[in-house]
Structure 1
Amino acid sequence: MRTEAAWPLDDRGVAYGDGLFETILLRGGRPLLWDEHLARLARGCHRLGIPMPEEHDLAVPLAEAGNGLEVLKLTLTRGSGGRGYRPPFSCAPRLRWQLAAFVPAETRWQQGVRVRHCRLRLGLQPVLAGLKHLNRLENVLARAEWDDEDIAEGLLCDSDGRLVEATAMNLFWRRAGRLETPRLDRCGVAGALRAALMERMEIHEVDIHPDEFEAAEAVWLGNSVQGVWPVVRLDDGAGIERRRWLLSPLHRTFQAEAHRLLDYPAP
């Protein structure tokens, strides 16, 4: 693992989560879905009032990448300064990066995954909705709800009971013959792979509750690092099975479209 510099203790990202991050798949130093990642970073910078990094600064870690498959984590904070929660009038953003070798979970591509509902509910905050900001404590607490290695992910609802996402992946399904994904205008992270797929496919954003979701014909989880995992079993928060799905060509068609964007094989 290669990391660029440490964080000072007075950095506002460390102290308050005042910043953003992107996690990007690199193949031989080439970033996948680079435009989508930069677009989300730019949206976050605009909403938080943090200047967008210069192109040459963003290119530095790419020059350090190796020839294999790696994950680049870019972290941007407002920097240091200000008084308490009050941000500085003029900020000096701090950009840090980390590179690590990566091996995708191919078994999960091929065999599908078991998921569960989480008890934790996401708070509603439209100003931050869709962004990959540094305040991820809700996701940490949700992921701490289980330690069963057979469960790959947990599904999160918001405080009004609407399905939003998984702890680290976006959620997609086919219901009544059409592709759908949760609307993310109140909370949740709008992933780079989600954005790319929505540009290329007819995917409808919907408000949905878990009982409606269980009527889906096929379900997938996806992000820009892991690719797409078909869901084959859903449990409730107590580990009791709610629904099973058999793998079918329907699962593989959606998966193949996503994997083309990441140069992953189609199982």
Structure 2
Amino acid sequence: MFWVNGVQQQTISLGDRAVQFGDGCFTTAWVKNGEVQRLSAHIARLQDAVARLMMPVCNWHTLAAEMREAALGCAEGVLKVILSRGEGGRGYSAQGAVGPTRVMSLSGYPQHYHLWRQQGIELALSPVALSRNPLLAGLKHLNRLEQVLIRTHLDNSQAQEALVVDTAGMLVECCAANIFWRTGRQVFTPALSYAGVDGIMRQHIIAQLLHSREFSLEIVSLPPAALADAEEVIVCNALMPILPVKKSENWHYNASQLFDFLHPHCIN
């Protein structure tokens, strides 16, 4: 099911800058029992992206209401919201663009996440490195060709998710998730100053850990070899929302203290 600017339809102008240049941003939310999970966090993410991309300001109350309405009656699903700069402008110039354009879609929930949450997953190092660009780092913008290439390689492996580095060789994230690992009471997650997506669930987990007395958190720039000494690895996004990693490359993990601590804070 699709909506464009609040109207149920499946078409968008070929002149829209989302089509022409990938000029926009998006967020993907978990719908459960007819409600958009962490709605305010998703709106805040879009607000930040719109400001940083210097896009026209959206009517946020209207968008939130449309998201709530789209979720009604859905037991479990995925709500994707795209904001583009709209239609207009000449070439790369956005002068004269009329926007923003609001695009929403509601689809089924990936049921394998439930199974993966119980069994754990495997990570494989991707041969595709993310470009370093601090102006776009952290944003979930519409330019996703790097992730498409990462996913294409991943589909030809036995792993369920990828370990992704940037062009400096530093671990950044997974294909469609953020990553945390634990050694003792110390938890680590990659810095996203140059590349990657600052996910909704990553933000939530960081907030939980900063208020925790059980664990301490450090945001680091390290290569994938840092996972060799980890006792536990987890990945997360707004849909998963949190999955344990059983194997990464040739390293195996059996502990679950961090997962057990975070699980009730992330699922509910």
Give the TM-score normalised by the residue count of structure 1: 0.89
CA contact (8 A) 1:2 1:100 kept: no
How far apart are residue 151 of structure 1 and its match? 1.3
The counterpart of 2:102, out of the listed 95, 98, 108, is 95
Say which SS state the counterpart of residue 85 (structure 1) adopts: coil
Say which SS state the counterpart of residue 187 (structure 2) adopts: strand
Structure 1: segments with no counterpart, 5+ residues: 236-241
Structure 1 range deviating more: 49-58 or 37-46: 49-58
Say which SS state the counterpart of residue 149 (structure 2) adopts: helix
The counterpart of 2:246, out of the listed 208, 227, 232, is 232
Matches within 5 A, 1:85-164: 85-89=92-96, 91-104=98-111, 105-148=113-156, 150-164=158-172
Q: Which has the higher contact order (CA 8 A, sep 6+)?
A: 1
User: Is 1:168 matched up with 2:181?
Assistant: no
- May I ask how many residue pairs the two structures share in their alignment? 254
How far apart are residue 197 of structure 1 and its match? 1.6
The counterpart of 2:87, out of the listed 74, 80, 89, is 80
CA distance in 1, matches of 2:114, 2:208: 24
User: Is 1:181 matched up with 2:189?
Assistant: yes
User: Is 1:60 matched up with 2:70?
Assistant: no
CA distance in 1, matches of 2:70, 2:194: 37
Letter in 2 for 1:246: N
The counterpart of 1:37, out of the listed 42, 47, 57, is 42
Say which SS state the counterpart of residue 226 (structure 2) adopts: helix
Structure 2: segments with no counterpart, 5+ residues: 211-216
2:214 corresponding residue in structure 1: none
CA distance in 2, matches of 1:40, 1:60: 17
How far apart are residue 86 of structure 1 and its match? 1.3
How far apart are residue 17 of structure 1 and its match? 0.6
CA contact (8 A) 1:130 1:188 kept: yes
CA distance in 2, matches of 1:251, 1:27: 21
2:24 corresponding residue in structure 1: 19
Letter in 1 for 2:116: R
1:71 corresponding residue in structure 2: 78
Moved over 6 A (4+): none
The counterpart of 1:244, out of the listed 252, 256, 261, is 252
Give the TM-score normalised by the residue count of structure 2: 0.89
CA distance in 1, matches of 2:247, 2:99: 47
Letter in 1 for 2:265: E
How far apart are residue 20 of structure 1 and its match? 0.4
CA contact (8 A) 2:89 2:97 kept: no
Distance 1:247 1:108, change over 3 A: farther
Q: Deviations over 1:44-88 (max 9, x none)?
A: 101111133211233124213224112111000001111111112
Letter in 2 for 1:88: Q
CA distance in 1, matches of 2:74, 2:90: 44
CA distance in 2, matches of 1:152, 1:234: 10
CA distance in 1, matches of 2:27, 2:57: 13
Say which SS state the counterpart of residue 13 (structure 1) adopts: helix
1:10 corresponding residue in structure 2: 15
CA contact (8 A) 1:116 1:153 kept: yes
Structure 1 range deviating more: 95-104 or 19-28: 95-104
